[in-house]
Amino acid sequence: MTGQLLVRGMLVGLLAGILAFGFAKVFGEPQIDKAIAFEDQMAQMHGDAPEEELVSREVQSTFGLFTGVVTYSVSLGGIFALVFAYSLGRVGKIGPRGLAALLALAAFVTLILVPGLKYPANPPSIGDPATIAQRTKLFFLMLLVSVIAAVIAINAARKLIPAIGIWGGSILAVALYIVIMAVAGSLFPTINEVPEAFSAVLLWKFRVASLGIQLVLWTTVGLTFGWLAERKLNLPGFSTRA
């Protein structure tokens, strides 16, 4: 079963990558072009010579973007399928579609939304080179804390639900996750590397587009994989054992 689900997960990841690429091309790339124009303008004001492009902007925004997004999404789809196969039958009586949707939602919140609230995405051409490495490390540390907090919350839910019911146990587990992440967010340093002259509207649009790309990707994976998995698992004679 696991191998068949893995193939389906990677195919779903491919579909999600194509849709995410389309979203990025329409909503994300225009913001990046404007950010690059701002960077060039600031360089001219300081008398800096323009840097030679190793890869043209046209290639970056088409083939490069497509390759990066699809490679990421196919890998994500495969990992998602493995997590789904492990979780199947271990998360109450929830069906394949519900399980896939729940896993996708949990992954989006834990891996993307919550860490991004503390360290949101910035246009690639904007930022202080001296702080980019530190900001990247802090983001991944925040992501790690988010994953650990999610594991703690899940374990708490498994103990609380039998005692006080699914609603009470789930709410307390979510509250525990929120408290842990709120404390972590207050302890982690804030890094503001965006120039004051940079448009706040442009920055907001870029960050919304970045979040939208991930939302399209995870929504597609959760809904489409759940549909395919349910069809496969409901086939007569199909075994749920690996």
Query: Could you tell me the residue ranges of all domains in the chain?
Result: 1-125+200-242, 128-193
Q: Model confidence over 26-68: pLDDT tens digits?
A: 999 999 988 888 877 876 766 655 566 667 778 888 899 999 9
Q: What is the pTM for the complete model shown?
A: 0.88
Residue 53: per-residue pLDDT: 65
236 pLDDT higher than 80: no
C-alpha closest to that of 78 among 121, 17, 21: 17
Geometric angle at alpha carbon 68, from 54 and 136, rounded to 5° = 80
Q: How many CA atoms lie within 13 A of 193 on its CB side?
A: 20
Question: Residue 213 is inside which H or E element, if any?
Answer: helix 200-233
| Of 42-51, 55-64, 191-200, 224-233, minimum mean pLDDT range | 42-51
Q: DSSP characters for 166-179?
A: HHHHHHHHHHHHHH
pLDDT bin (cut points 50, 70, 90) of residue 124 is confident
CB 240 within 8 A of CB 39: no
